[in-house]
Amino acid sequence: MARLASQEKMEFYPTPEAAIIRGIKEIKIETPIRALDPCAGDGRALKILKENNNAEVYGIELDVERSKQTAEITGKKNCLFETDALIDARVSAQAFNLIFNNPPYDWERGYGDSRLELTFIERYASPLVEGGIMILIINESLFSGYSRAKEFLTVLLKNFAILSYFKMTEDETYKQWVLILRKGKVVPILKLSMTFSDSKYEDELKQIEDGIYNENYRTFFNAAISLSQGLRPNLDHDDRTLTVAPKPLNLFSSVAITEEMIEKALAANGKTINIALEAIKPKDTIETLLPLRNSHLPLLLPTGYLNGRVKGTNLVINGQTERFIETYEETEEKQDKNVKPKTQTVEKEINKFRATLKVLDLKTKEVIQIN
């Protein structure tokens, strides 16, 4: 797992059931639903979809206990236990026609310098069929400033049209908004970049800027919808009907090594150990542009790309890389032409990375951790 479970628990903000129900009611459903929640939590959104809309539901959850709660709703086969939805999950493209997406509100750790919400929006556009609906829940911090708002809209409008929005609750302690999005054809990045300097959208861009600086987010979203209509003129933004069926779901699996797998492996004898670890798929080949050398292996292992059982051996590996921030003090001179230079101590931050490799030996039943 690339993100620590303790971090994930701190970022668990369950969606109020009233907001889930209202979000679903914003859509007119005219086709059987196959729904996915990549941050399923305790499975409440999937439960409502299953009970009220007879949906076929699937969930992904990182936390151990909440994975079990989700599985009680989806069934074990439809739940990816203790799985990082960005790193460990493997999901077929366009296999769902409804995605409920309430991603963690945080900066990425171990993936890059961006907001996690943006990565989740991009990552889970792929499993949604074109014409499908995403119910997205976001925090105001994602667009608190014009540059952030521009980055947010660039990611959003690349794959989606904004159909409608509402504040999750009128309680001011909550800063979340619910967006109803329809997946469309991809808008080229160059076109999106030019949009933010195009005089054609001068009014919309001014309203976006005013809405952000005055914290009038309804003005911001209304202008964003107008921008969405300009980018996708052939899509009816007033139509919130879901009619498109999902494509076949051929892949829904995880490469994460769960606590349950390790416990079963350590408790099993030599004859049944492979059954206990049957969910771990051996990797037959790795396709690269140039031949791999031994020196490449230490670079690949911490990425998690090679996680799983090593073919032809008794070893199961799980690599991960985590970004963390280290603070330090530095002395510097403060220059002012009218004042004598002053020496001051300031606290600074630096990004560092920690690589970890866990190896389970199926023969000796020993777990080795290499930092």
Q: What is the mean pLDDT of each run of 10 residues along the chain (371 residues)?
A: 42 82 95 97 95 96 92 94 89 97 77 78 96 96 89 95 92 85 92 88 93 93 95 93 96 80 57 40 50 62 70 75 70 56 66 76 77 70
User: What sign does the CA torsion over 207, 155, 92, 86 have?
Assistant: negative
Chain Cα centroid distance, residue 164: 21
Instruction: Answer whether 23's CB lies under 8 Å from 180's CB.
Output: yes
pLDDT value of residue 171? 73
For 297, counting Cβ atoms within 10 Å of its Cβ (0-12 exposed, 13-18 middle, 19+ buried), the class is exposed
pLDDT value of residue 262? 64
Would you list the domain boundaries of the chain?
5-242, 257-370
Single pTM value for the model? 0.72
Hey, what are 5's tokens? 């479970």
pLDDT value of residue 117? 93
pLDDT value of residue 271? 39
Q: Does domain 5-242 have CATH number 3.40.50.150?
A: yes
User: What sign does the CA torsion over 193, 198, 203, 206 have?
Assistant: positive
